[in-house]
């Protein structure tokens, strides 16, 4: 794969982009606000397990109308249609004619937002199709599998003047929001280091005949890198103002041997089974180190092959203190915490709980992943209704997605340092950091 990571040649298009910006057509421009909507008419692509969860959330939001549903499994689409009717809405039209029937959905003229929860390989194609047809686009993570796809999303969003959002629910989890609030209020001092990751035993899922098992194992067979960095890295990126006064500068990665999937398959399907004799490229543990423009360091771990407790390994360290989420929430603040130990985070909740969590959590009760799935969907719709900038945008989606290919390249080249593309083309230097949104 021959990709130009810095895209210097893209700067040749600067004059054309400036003209678009002057005309108000640069959808991904800093602080971009789309026109307000009285309601958000949604076309949903991918009504499987995670997609159904989002559909349930959207149907609880008064300003949402579910217009159309697309899925290659007709039963999935029909189930989602039934949920809409039970919620008091008209039956959404169904698109179930195969892999590319999302194109017919995107071509409709009565849709404002296309929301995508398909397998990874379809994320960028669906998003691009939506924007090319004049719709805002939102997708489950990752937004892109390659850097070329990430650039395609950025360029399409800018040219069409549409929002392009990677739906990262972990940005809205209780503690990640609280840590962001602590950072914004200066409790930790100047940030210098962080640790994060996605450490989740997915062996049973990868060998399942249902849901993600139908496609996720293929990525472990053919790719060796951090395939899923966003859950841990996205909240850290917000704390460090990535794309808003700071940026990811370069990365180095390495991978452990790949043993665990073969062992699991041998124990569950037999030593001579196709699953056990398959070669899996993905190292059991992939470790990446990222340095930001301002010199902060981030250690990112990917581990979905081994027997282990779930963790996103969240740790944020500054010149005045350090906070961690796993295995239990703890904090140390200079001059406050006694000695060299930790203290429980509970005593800080009242002062530093993020107002977005406080204001929305009652509405989110019963939603997926402890309520953070509802909050991310609520904020998406709220920003569209109010004509506000999104909490994250296409530049964030691109930068986070780029970690995967850069880590694959680094591992394949003996942990060679890899530069991040500047998807903002310098705009990160003047973009304002994300503030403390309240959701009120």
> CATH number for the domain including 90?
3.40.50.720
Q: Same domain, yes or no, for 221 and 87?
A: no
pLDDT computed for residue 29 by the predictor:
53
Whether 70 and 137 share a structural domain: yes
The pLDDT tens digits for 101-153 are 999 999 999 999 999 999 999 999 999 999 999 999 999 999 999 999 999 99
Full residue range of the structural domain in which residue 139 is found: 29-168
Q: What is the pLDDT of residue 364?
A: 84
- What does pTM read for this prediction? 0.93
Q: How far is CA 66 from CA 88, 135, 166, 379, in A?
A: 11, 14, 20, 17
Q: What is the pLDDT of residue 17?
A: 42
pLDDT band with cut points at 50, 70 and 90 for residue 77: very high
Listed residue (176, 169, 170) closest to 194, CA to CA = 176
Q: Domain check: are 109 and 139 in the same one?
A: yes
* pLDDT tier for residue 160 given thresholds of 50, 70 and 90: very high
In a domain, 10, yes or no: no
Establish if 178 belongs to a structural domain.
Answer: yes
CATH of the domain at 247: 3.30.360.10
Q: Quick one: 152 and 245 in the same domain?
A: no
Residue 396 has pLDDT above 90, yes or no: yes
Question: Measuring CA to CA, how many Å separate 301 from each of 180, 298, 304, 350, 400?
Answer: 21, 10, 10, 31, 14
376 part of a folded domain: no
pLDDT at 14 over 90: no
Which of 154, 184, 188, 190 lies closest to 400, judged by CA? 154
Say yes or no: 50 and 198 in one domain: no
Question: Within a domain: residue 3?
Answer: no
Q: Are residues 199 and 306 in the same domain?
A: yes
Q: Whole-angstrom Cα distance, residue 327 to residue 342?
A: 13
Same domain assignment for residues 148 and 217: no
* Within a domain: 274: yes
Domain end point (choices 168, 188, 210) = 168
**In three state form, how does the secondary structure of 237-296 look?**
HHHCCECCCECEEEEEEEECCCCHHHHHHHHHHCCCCHHHHCCCCCCCCEEEEEEECCCC
Give the pLDDT mean for 374-401: 97
Task: Say if residue 342 is in the same domain as residue 211.
Answer: yes
Lowest mean pLDDT among 2-11, 120-129, 322-331, 334-343: 2-11
Residues 226 and 148 in one domain: no
**Across all residues in the chain, what is the average pLDDT?**
93
Beta pairing partners, 194: 298, 316
Q: Do 175 and 323 fall into the same domain?
A: yes
pLDDT of 196 above 90: yes
Calculate mean pLDDT across residues 307-333: 98
The predicted structure's pLDDT at residue 13: 40
Among 15-24, 132-141, 153-162, which is the least confidently predicted range?
Answer: 15-24
Structure tokens at 340: 């060299």
């Amino acid at each position: 794969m021959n990709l130009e990571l810095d895209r210097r040649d893209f700067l040749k298009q600067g004059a054309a982009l400036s003209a678009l910006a002057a005309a108000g057509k640069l959808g991904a421009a800093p602080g971009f606000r789309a026109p307000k909507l009285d309601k958000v008419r949604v076309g949903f692509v991918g009504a499987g397990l995670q997609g159904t969860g989002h559909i349930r959330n959207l149907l609880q939001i008064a300003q949402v109308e579910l217009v159309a549903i697309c899925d290659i499994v007709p039963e999935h689409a029909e189930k989602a249609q039934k949920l809409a009717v039970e919620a008091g809405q008209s039956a959404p039209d169904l698109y179930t004619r195969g892999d590319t029937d999302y194109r017919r959905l995107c071509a409709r003229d009565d849709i404002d937002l296309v929301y995508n929860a398909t397998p990874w390989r379809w994320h960028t194609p669906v998003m691009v199709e939506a924007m090319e047809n004049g719709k805002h686009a939102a997708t489950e993570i990752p937004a892109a599998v390659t850097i070329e796809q990430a650039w395609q999303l950025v360029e399409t969003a800018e040219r069409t003047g549409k929002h392009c959002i990677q739906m990262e629910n972990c940005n809205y989890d209780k503690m990640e929001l609280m840590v962001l609030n602590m950072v914004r209020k200066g409790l930790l001092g100047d940030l210098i280091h962080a640790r994060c990751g996605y450490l989740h035993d997915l062996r049973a899922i990868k060998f399942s005949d249902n849901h993600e098992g139908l496609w996720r194992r293929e990525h472990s067979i053919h790719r060796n890198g951090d395939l899923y960095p966003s859950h841990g890295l996205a909240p850290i990126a917000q704390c460090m103002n990535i794309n808003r006064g700071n940026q990811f500068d370069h990365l180095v990665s390495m991978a452990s041997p790949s043993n665990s999937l073969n062992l699991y398959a041998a124990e569950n399907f037999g030593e001579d089974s196709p699953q056990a004799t398959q070669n899996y490229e993905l190292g059991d543990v992939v470790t990446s180190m990222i340095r930001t423009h301002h010199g902060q360091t981030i250690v990112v771990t990917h581990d979905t092959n081994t027997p282990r407790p779930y963790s996103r390994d969240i740790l944020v360290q500054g010149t005045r203190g350090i906070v961690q989420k796993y295995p239990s929430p703890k904090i140390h603040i200079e001059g406050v915490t006694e000695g060299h130990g930790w203290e429980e985070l509970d005593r800080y909740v009242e002062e530093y709980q993020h107002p977005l969590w406080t204001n929305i959590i009652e509405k989110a009760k019963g939603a997926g992943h402890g309520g953070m799935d509802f909050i991310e969907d609520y904020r998406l719709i709220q920003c569209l209704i109010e004509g506000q900038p999104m909490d994250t945008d296409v530049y964030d989606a691109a930068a986070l997605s780029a970690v995967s290919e850069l880590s694959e390249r680094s591992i394949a080249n003996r942990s060679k340092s890899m530069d991040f593309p500047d998807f903002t083309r310098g705009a990160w230097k003047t973009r304002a950091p994300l503030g403390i949104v309240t959701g009120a």
